[in-house]
Amino acid sequence: MIGTALIIMAKQPLVGSTKTRLCPPLEPAEAAVVYEALLLDTIELCSDLDGIHLAVAVTPPSAVGYFESITPSGATLIPVDCPDIGHCLQRVIGQLLESGYDKVLALNSDGPSLPAAYIYQAVYNLNHHEMVLGPGEDGGYYLIGLKRLHKDLFIEIDWSTPRVLPQTISKIEMLGLDSVMLPYWYDIDTWDDLLRLKDELRRLPSELLPNTRRFFSSYKSIERGL
C-alpha cells in the first residue's frame, strides 16, 4: 500500500460551457474566468496537504496539456471522457485504488474555501471506517472517500440534482457500508453562491484563495442585488 490519493474532479474552463448557471448576470467569458480561479485555488489547497498525493481527473482528455501547465510536478493526471460524473468517479477512484493507494478521496473543483481540516478529517476517518462522505448544501456531495471501490454508489443516481445526496445515502445503507459524514459545505454554482464566497473571503486570511481574490478585484461590480 502506498498511502492516500486525493483526486480533483476538474474540467477545462471553456467559454459557453463552464458555470453557465452564473450567466446572467455574468457573461460566458467571465464565468469561465471565475471557474478557472476556483480551480486554481482548489489545486493550491490540495497541493499543500501533507502526506496526500494529488491527482486530477481531466475533462476533456484533450485538456491534459492545460492541466500540466497548472498542476505541480508529480501530480497524477487521469484523462476521462464519461457520460456522467458517476462514471468518472467510478473510473478514477478504481484506477487509483488498483494502482496501490489504500485510500482515495475525490473532491470537487469549485469549493476552494473548504477547510483543509475537513480533508484531513476524511483521511483519519478512513483509517477506521469503510468510506467517508462530504455532504453538500445543495443536495450533492463535495467529497467521497473509499478504501475499496463500490460501483453501486455511482449508478442509478440523478447527478446534478438535489437527489444525489439522499440517493447516495440510500446506497450506503443498502450496501451496509460503515461510513462517516463530514460537515456540510458548499460549492459555487449560482450567483448567490458566488456572493457568499466573496463575503467569506473577507473573513479568511489574506493569503488564501489568491486567484479568486484577483477575480473579484477585476470584477468589482459583483455586489448583492446586481
User: What string of DSSP letters covers 172-186?
Assistant: HHHHT--EEEPPPB-
Cβ neighbours of residue 83 closer than 8 Å, sequence gap 6 or more:
none
Q: What is the DSSP string of 73-106?
A: TT-EEEE---SSHHHHHHHHHHHHHHTT-SEEEE
Does residue 202 register a pLDDT over 90? Answer: yes
- Does this model's pTM top 0.75? My answer is yes
H/E element holding 160? none
The pLDDT assigned to 73 comes to: 94
The confidence score (pLDDT) of residue 222 equals 67
Given a contact cutoff of 8 angstroms between Cβ atoms, the answer to whether 133 and 149 are in contact is no
pLDDT at 196 over 80: yes
Is residue 226 very low, low, confident or very high in pLDDT (cuts 50, 70, 90)? very low
Backbone Cα Rg of the chain: 17
Nearest partner of 79 among 101, 55, 108, 47, judged by Cα: 55
- The 10s digit of each residue's pLDDT in 20-75 is 999 999 999 999 999 999 999 999 999 989 999 999 999 999 999 999 999 999 99
pLDDT tier for residue 89 given thresholds of 50, 70 and 90: very high
Q: Give the confidence band of 224 by pLDDT, cuts at 50, 70, 90.
A: very low
Q: Tens digits of per-residue pLDDT, 147-176?
A: 999 999 999 999 999 999 999 999 999 999
- Per the DSSP assignment, residues forming a β-bridge with 7 are 55, 106
- Tell me what the mean pLDDT of segment 110-120 comes to: 98
Residues 22, 24, 29, 30, CA torsion sign: negative
The rounded mean pLDDT for the chain is 95
Identify which of 37, 76, 15, 16 has the alpha carbon closest to the alpha carbon of residue 216.
Answer: 37
Contacts of 35 (CB under 8 A, 6+ apart): 11, 13, 18, 19, 110
Residues 103-108: what's their mean pLDDT? 98
Residue ranges and CATH numbers for the domains of the chain are 4-213 (3.90.550.10)
